[in-house]
Structure 1
């Protein structure tokens, strides 16, 4: 839409203002909204139909435009908007059903089927290794669990906690 200058002294302006060309106060070509807002805020302007060319007017117009109500879409329209397919064969229906099921319940299934691992080493076994090999033997085992410690007692405790 064209822009009409309303600022004092610019009503009959002919020339270029930024990227917009004016002739007798009216733009020669359609003006982008961001350029119109910039010009209207510094000089004063309205659209050629008389509507204000400012940010508030644009927001008000957007507020008056209702958003699409997806609740009124049919199942096929909604399916098409999500999947891009208007009609699905049985394999595609199963595929999308599986995807939805895995997204909604996949985490719960994984957690419930996970078995608690039995500890590889008991405290007694670790103490026996410490008696036979010393702290060096415990450090080899601790390396499997990415655990470190400065004493035998600390290493045994850390290994036991890492196995839980």
Structure 2
């Protein structure tokens, strides 16, 4: 209901209602003048009401029923946030990789062996089978 329309009370026992109800004048349960949508919803929350033109019932939850199957547009926002978080993590990994020079990585390899180099490589998401391969992959990740 988007514009003012005449309404009819269809509640049992109200079939021949004459008088004023909720600020609306009724004659034989039919409004004398057109009623605003907000007033029709208010009256519809108290008694069953129909629109005269369409015979659609107006109830307290008619707006809800009209919009209940409208999907919410939230998914795209969530995807954008997830994409932004992934990009931030990837940027942090590249910055971490940029901290290491070949000499630093070789020093770690001398002191702690392949296990030490693998710790650094794991934080960057890099894999390799040898110290030299891991060092090359870490440096390649740094750009």
- Common topology (TM > 0.5): no
Greater relative contact order (CA < 8 Å, ≥ 6 in sequence) = 2
TM-score, normalised to structure 1's length?
A: 0.34
TM-score, normalised to structure 2's length?
A: 0.39
